[in-house]
Amino acid sequence: MSKFLHTTALLLTAALVPLAAQAQTSTQVAPETHPVGDIPDNQAFVRYEGAAGGYSLEVPEGWARAVSGTHVTFTSKLGAVEVWTTDTTGIPTLASVRATEVTALAKTVANLKVTSVKAVTLPSGPAIRASFTSTGPVNAVTGRAPALENELYVLSHAGKRVLLRFSAPLGSDNVDAWKQMSDSLRWR
């Protein structure tokens, strides 16, 4: 009887192993692939409090942070989020952002080409959004400079102006992440 049970168990195991392997492979899902600079849809965010700026906002968790005075930059691969503050007495307008902020950026950002400047409303208040393309820094290994898409938000509150800039390789799908971060800006 024992030999019969042992033989039956071996036959059942031999028959079930291929079925189990087939079941495992049929439920596997290919991993998501993202272009360099693309913020994944499942990215976690954490709240950053600007020490000198009187603001806070959500930024991607795990991104490198560099702070210089009132300027803070978060980077990962070719994507970046920059925030900086200045003192102000006025509210930004389409004309003032074109004449001041965009002109200043054009002096330091390679091949800046403005695609639109619009008034928008964020949960933190009215803002001006300038969208533009530019060329990123040259990669030391490849010798290539990536084409970038950028958005700059300019907001004012209680004598402070906050400038919030997003940049990523041209064609990256960061619309949802950039919206989440710009909508998360809060005044303190």
| Domain annotation for the chain: domains and CATH numbers | 45-187 (3.40.1000.10)
pLDDT band at 99 (very low <50, low <70, confident <90, very high): very high
| pLDDT score of 10 more than 50 | no
Query: What confidence tier does 188 reach under pLDDT thresholds 50, 70, 90?
Result: confident
Burial of 82 (0-12, 13-18, 19+ CB in 10 A): middle
Q: β-strand 55-60 against 79-87: which pairing, if any?
A: unpaired
Cβ neighbours for 50, distance < 8 A, ≥ 6 positions apart? 56, 57, 70, 72, 83, 85, 162
**Cα–Cα distance for residue pair 111/144, rounded to 1 Å:** 14
What per-residue confidence (pLDDT) applies to 35? 65
The arithmetic mean of pLDDT across residues 105-112, rounded, is: 96
What's the pLDDT score for residue 21? 52
Which pLDDT band, with edges at 50, 70 and 90, does 51 fall under?
A: confident
Within 10 angstroms of residue 37's Cβ, the number of other Cβ atoms is 22
pTM of the model: 0.81
Q: What distance in Å separates the CA atoms of residue 75 and residue 132, rounded to the nearest whole number?
A: 19
Q: What percent of the chain has a predicted confidence (pLDDT) above 70? A: 81
- Give the pair of three-digit tokens for residue 130: 């300038």
Rounded CA-CA distance 130/134 in Å is: 13
* Residues 82/98, Cβ–Cβ less than 8 Å: no
Q: How many residues are listed for the chain in this entry?
A: 188
Contact between 57 and 184 (Cβ < 8 Å): yes
Task: Answer for the pair 84, 108: CB distance below 8 angstroms, yes or no.
Answer: no
Round the average pLDDT of the chain to a whole number and report it. Answer: 87
